[in-house]
Structure 1
Amino acid sequence: MAIERTMNFFEFALQNERLRLLSTGALWWPKAGTLVVSDLHFGKSERVARRSGQMLPPYETRDTLARLDADVLATKPQRVICLGDSFDDDAAREGLGIAEKLWIARMQAGRDWVWITGNHDPALHDLGGRSRPELSVGPLVFRHITTRSPGEISGHYHPKARLVLRGRSVSRPCCLYDGTHAILPAYGTYTGGLDWLNPALRSLMAEDACAILTGQRPCAVPVPQGARA
């Protein structure tokens, strides 16, 4: 797998297309002018409070929007694809504030904005853009949950890698990639993560899979083969 490391993104090839995982966990496809994010989970703090009574600082939607806005400004995409679970549930979508709706509308202006249907959110018809169960663009296909198809980019699992470096445990959201398909990390602020060695993820990736870790300097590490199911 040919992969190139730079200061603020990690570049890899899928179906002969050069893709860049940004430090934020967004995916940038320069040739197609396409920015991809997964699992925004807007409104999670409100949903957690509503269902469990646990109070989280209610700022995650704006924090997620601010990071997305910065990635949009940096890449100036013609197309933005949100890979499902953009909202934590229907009530979270209905409770989105006017300021946040206007923020989304401003980012959508002049570009093709695609909401992929997730398991947390139905088709979105009232927030601009267009809604699709999946989207094919050239040799790549974008959907929420992987089917392990060649050229597929998906989300849903919120992969996170945990490493021990110099005696310290380091945990970062990551993109899992095996040369055939890629599973993006969750982009939302309160999304958490599923360990990269969890059987649900291990069974989806080939033996040569790697994890591209997010952070100030994205980097790739092999997924430990001895831990596979």
Structure 2
Amino acid sequence: MTGGYGFTLAGETLVALASGALWWPEREMLVVSDLHLGKSERIARLGGAALPPYETYDTLERLEADLGRVSARAVVCLGDSFDDRAAAEGLPEGVVDWLVRLQAGRRWSWIEGNHDPGPVALGGAHLADMVAGGLVFRHIATPGGAGEVSGHYHPKARVAGVSRRCFLLDRSRLILPAYGTYTGGLWSHDPALSGLMADGALAIVTGRVARAMPMPR
């Protein structure tokens, strides 16, 4: 796929997209992690900075574009799709309608995250984790996990002095970057990530195209 980086994990052929989404062609499945919808509202509600409240719309615009680009029939959201319970319950009516339209005609799975409130008033399956083919989808990576696809850490790496969100890939696991517009990131050399990823791991950086390089440690 143009702009994507193809690889195999646990015998499955996958594509890391430049947007930060993962595409599984055989299953016609798009996977995204850490949307954190409603983050600006939560920050303001808790007395933080008044960020422009447009990140949910930007995130959904990019998701809708990816869904159309690959003609996805299935979607997996790898947890922290909402920034907290109040953000999930207080989504504007227009945002809820937008999510319902995106779900229409697609198998949609919400994986529980540490920010997520559990099942919310949206369609789709609500799961702690999910197994498909040789892969297991969950929010937080587990030591020794095999064929594991996860999120949570919001990995990033520096390329030519510029911070880039990135996938982290080794023989056993893949960690997705955060997809949400206002999400921060954790450097790949942080002990939490360098301790998880095996020697020889790659960082697949996002941007105009997805490019692989040795994972910065």
Do 1:7 and 1:218's aligned partners in 2 also have CA atoms closer than 8 Å?
no
Do 1:38 and 1:156's aligned partners in 2 also have CA atoms closer than 8 Å?
yes
Aligned to 1:39: 34
In 1, the alpha carbon distance for the partners of 2:103 and 2:22 equals 17
Q: Secondary structure at the match of 2:46?
A: helix
Aligned to 2:98: 103
Q: Which amino acid aligns with 1:85?
A: D
In 2, the alpha carbon distance for the partners of 1:144 and 1:86 equals 10
- Over residues 94-126 of structure 1, what are the superposed CA-to-partner deviations in whole Å (9 max), with x where a residue is unaligned? 110111111110110111100000000122231
Long gaps (5+) in structure 2: none
Aligned to 1:3: none
Aligned to 1:159: 155
- Over residues 175-194 of structure 1, what are the superposed CA-to-partner deviations in whole Å (9 max), with x where a residue is unaligned? 00012100000000000100
Q: Which amino acid aligns with 1:213?
A: V
Choose the corresponding residue for 2:207, options 191, 196, 215: 215
**What's the Cα RMSD here?**
1.0
In 1, the alpha carbon distance for the partners of 2:52 and 2:119 equals 26
Do 2:88 and 2:120's aligned partners in 1 also have CA atoms closer than 8 Å?
no
Choose the corresponding residue for 1:63, options 43, 58, 69: 58
Do 1:157 and 1:193's aligned partners in 2 also have CA atoms closer than 8 Å?
yes
- State the Cα distance separating 1:170 from its structure 2 match: 1.4
Q: Which amino acid aligns with 1:17?
A: E
Q: Which amino acid aligns with 2:165?
A: P
Q: Which amino acid aligns with 1:203?
A: G
Do 2:33 and 2:78's aligned partners in 1 also have CA atoms closer than 8 Å?
yes
In 2, the alpha carbon distance for the partners of 1:185 and 1:137 equals 20
Which region of structure 1 is more displaced relative to structure 2, 214-223 or 184-193? 214-223
Q: Which amino acid aligns with 1:188?
A: G
Choose the corresponding residue for 2:131, options 118, 136, 140: 136
Q: Secondary structure at the match of 2:209?
A: coil
Across the two proteins, how many residue pairs are aligned to each other?
216
Q: What does 1:69-108 correspond to in 2, within 5 Å? A: 69-108=64-103
Aligned to 1:146: 141
- State the Cα distance separating 1:16 from its structure 2 match: 1.5
Choose the corresponding residue for 1:189, options 177, 181, 184: 181
Q: Secondary structure at the match of 2:13?
A: strand
Do 1:105 and 1:127's aligned partners in 2 also have CA atoms closer than 8 Å?
yes
Do 1:79 and 1:111's aligned partners in 2 also have CA atoms closer than 8 Å?
yes
Do 2:205 and 2:212's aligned partners in 1 also have CA atoms closer than 8 Å?
yes
Q: Which amino acid aligns with 1:220?
A: A
Aligned to 1:116: 111
2:172 is the alignment partner of 1:177: no
Q: Which amino acid aligns with 2:202?
A: C
Aligned to 1:24: 19
Do 1:211 and 1:222's aligned partners in 2 also have CA atoms closer than 8 Å?
yes
Aligned to 2:45: 50
TM-score by length of structure 1 reads 0.92
Q: Secondary structure at the match of 2:37?
A: coil
Do 1:9 and 1:218's aligned partners in 2 also have CA atoms closer than 8 Å?
yes
Q: Secondary structure at the match of 1:131?
A: strand
